Amino acid sequence: MALLSKSSEQRVRQSRADRFPSVGVGVDWIITGAALDPSMPDSGKDAVMAMAAIKVPLSLGSYGAGEDEARAHTRMFRARELAVRNMAVEELERVLARLRDANRRVALYDTTMIPLAETSYEAVQSSYQSGRATVAEVLIAERELLELRLMALRARADAAVAWAALERVVGRPVQTSREVR
């Protein structure tokens, strides 16, 4: 889009230049070769012609319209360039938000939820061994612990998918020096 915008700017300059008279000079050379009849005068002489041209613009209004059109195209391409940039920034922000969210959930499960569930499971297991809890309570605590571990794995998978999306948006592999927060 940036290149199209620059190209349109060149068209504006060209349209502006078309309003003024211009002069052209040229030379044309025609290689004739020898004639079939060697007695012909100037047989084998090449023809050389000089040309000169002057362009005088008569309808200045049409040139102004062409210049206005070229300016409009330039504005259009600049607007498209800005829109494409904004969309890229928006997509990058969206991917970074998904990555931050996934990393936050991984940290939450690893540092808070799973350790609490493990402690709860161990407490219910101890209560069961001492006769104060039922098998159902042990199974429920174990199921909750396993579900939290599964959610942590899903959060890690979401973080990996978000990281791959970040690399797609950036257009190259991204190395991490610290977690994205």
Q: What are phi and psi of 39, to 5 degrees?
A: -85, -5
Question: Taking a C-beta distance cutoff of 8 angstroms, is the pair 78, 135 a contact?
Answer: no
At residue 48, the pLDDT reads 85
DSSP-assigned beta bridge partners for residue 52: 25
Q: Tell me which residue has tokens 């059109």.
A: 69
pLDDT tens-digit series, residues 135-150: 999 999 999 999 999 9
Give residue 96's identity as a one-letter amino acid code: L
- How far apart are alpha carbons 166 and 101 in whole angstroms? 14
Question: For residue 84, what are the CA distances in angstroms to 77, 91, 170?
Answer: 10, 11, 14
- How far apart are alpha carbons 62 and 57 in whole angstroms? 10
Question: Taking a C-beta distance cutoff of 8 angstroms, is the pair 167, 173 a contact?
Answer: yes
User: Residue 129 pLDDT > 90, yes or no?
Assistant: yes
pLDDT tens-digit series, residues 43-66: 777 788 899 888 887 776 677 777
Select the highest-mean-pLDDT range: 18-32, 36-50, 87-101, 166-180: 87-101
User: Residue 72 pLDDT > 80, yes or no?
Assistant: yes
Burial of 132 (0-12, 13-18, 19+ CB in 10 A): exposed
Q: Across the chain, which distance is largest between two alpha carbons, in Å?
A: 133
At residue 177, the pLDDT reads 66
- How far apart are alpha carbons 102 and 49 in whole angstroms? 78
Give residue 69's identity as a one-letter amino acid code: E
User: Residue 80 pLDDT > 70, yes or no?
Assistant: yes
- How far apart are alpha carbons 79 and 75 in whole angstroms? 6
For the chain, what are the domain ranges?
89-170
User: Residue 17 pLDDT > 60, yes or no?
Assistant: yes
Q: Tell me which residue has tokens 């502006």.
A: 16
